Amino acid sequence: MADFNDSLPSAAPPFVPNPGVQEPSVALPAVLTSGLWGIFSVTLVTLELKDQALVMPQFLIVVLFVLMPIGLIWIIAILVRLLLHVRLEAKRLQAAFDSFHTVFSQSIRKNQDASNLAVNKKLEEVAAAQRQLQTTLNEIRSASLPTVDLTPKVAKILPIKGSEQKSSLELSPRTDITAPLARADYVRALNFPENTRDKVGFASLHRALKDRKAAQLVRAAQDMLTLLSQDGVYMDDLRPDKARPELWRRFATGERGCAIAPLGGVHDRTALALVSKRLKKDPVFNDSVHHFLRLFDKTLVAFESGASDHEIAALSDTRTARAFMLLGRVAGTFD
């Protein structure tokens, strides 16, 4: 009992029964009643049998006549004493229950206050992360815009002979042909830069945005991550089950059903519930999700044809692939 009392909050002291409350005594009334009945019965028997000799049957009757009511009196006294004891214990238990209820209510209020502080702190952290992500996405947008030099340039016009002019045009390098996008840059761009100091990530993203087909998926993924962040869903918080590269290849070739269901390996119930709720209520979000899923499916087909298992595994671990796994599971892509 001492250990339990020590664990109670200090705001409300533990319940201690009132030592001044005692059970009412029933012994005195029983003794008085028994004495009165004994005197009355003995007097009555003496007056009735003063001139007669007692025989055994009469003696037994007299004993029963005197002692049986006394026994009943004490039985009733014991029962009354037990009843009073039960009532007193009931009052003590009720008082103890009221005391513990007060202590429990105070403890619940304190826990609610502590949980509210924790929730507010978590919301502030989520808001800060969202602002940081928004800043990064804005920098990505600014980096993806082509820069145009508006400084006027003055060129000297020199007379060039026809043969020299033809030769100079034939030997001049062609600047309108860009090199094909490397798979490593493509995968790195789909994962987006880690922070504002990620120069390698920004360089890969810049090269991916120059490629027309890759830029479509990158921009769709960028918009998708922004929409998900509005509900507090971030790809870095997800820990999906990693599927084997062969499953991604089978999905790229058009296979559907239970065989490729492990691709939807996101098990975060909160993220799934938030996406499902918004997918049903927000038509704009619904259209953006299906547009992103179609683009990812289309580009995965082209990427898988010449990619190694290592490259496919790297692609499946990007933020864009995690968004595809999350949204595809909610939309039923893997069913």
pLDDT digits (tens, 9 = 90+) for 281-316: 999 999 999 999 999 988 888 888 888 989 999 998
pLDDT of residue 38: 82
User: Cα(224)–Cα(323) distance, rounded to whole angstroms?
Assistant: 8
| pLDDT tens profile 18-49 | 444 455 677 888 888 888 888 888 887 777 76
Q: Which two tokens stand for residue 145?
A: 């815009």
Rounded percentage of the chain residues whose pLDDT exceeds 90: 17
If 0-12 CB within 10 Å is exposed, 13-18 middle and 19+ buried, where does residue 264 land? buried
Average pLDDT rounded to a whole number, residues 187-200: 88
Least confident of 54-68, 223-237, 316-330: 54-68
* Residue 61, C-beta contacts closer than 8 angstroms, at least 6 positions apart: none
* Residue 106, C-beta contacts closer than 8 angstroms, at least 6 positions apart: 9, 11, 12
Per-residue confidence band for 174, with pLDDT thresholds at 50, 70 and 90: very low
User: Cα(35)–Cα(74) distance, rounded to whole angstroms?
Assistant: 12
Among 150, 137, 108, 304, which Cα is nearest to 228's? Answer: 137
Q: Which two tokens stand for residue 128?
A: 């800060």
pLDDT of residue 4: 44
Is the per-residue pLDDT at 184 higher than 80?
yes
- The Cβ-side half-sphere exposure at 155, using a 13 Å CA radius, reads 3
Sequential DSSP letters for 158-202: ----HHHHHHHHHHSPP-S-PPPPPHHHHHHHHH--SSTT-HHHH
Average pLDDT rounded to a whole number, residues 232-253: 89
pLDDT of residue 50: 67
Which ranges constitute the DSSP H helices of the chain? 2-7, 27-48, 56-144, 162-171, 183-191, 199-210, 212-229, 245-252, 269-281, 283-304, 309-316, 319-331
- Chain centroid to Cα 29, Å, comes to 66
pLDDT of residue 67: 83
Average pLDDT rounded to a whole number, residues 60-86: 85
* Residue 256, C-beta contacts closer than 8 angstroms, at least 6 positions apart: 334, 335
pLDDT of residue 284: 92
Write down the domain spans for the chain.
Answer: 23-135, 181-331
Q: Which two tokens stand for residue 172?
A: 């001049």
C-beta separation of 84 from 24 below 8 A: yes
Average pLDDT rounded to a whole number, residues 64-93: 87
Residue 149 phi/psi, 5-degree rounding, is -85, 110
* Residue 235, C-beta contacts closer than 8 angstroms, at least 6 positions apart: 225, 228, 319, 322, 323, 326
Q: Which two tokens stand for residue 139?
A: 């920098």
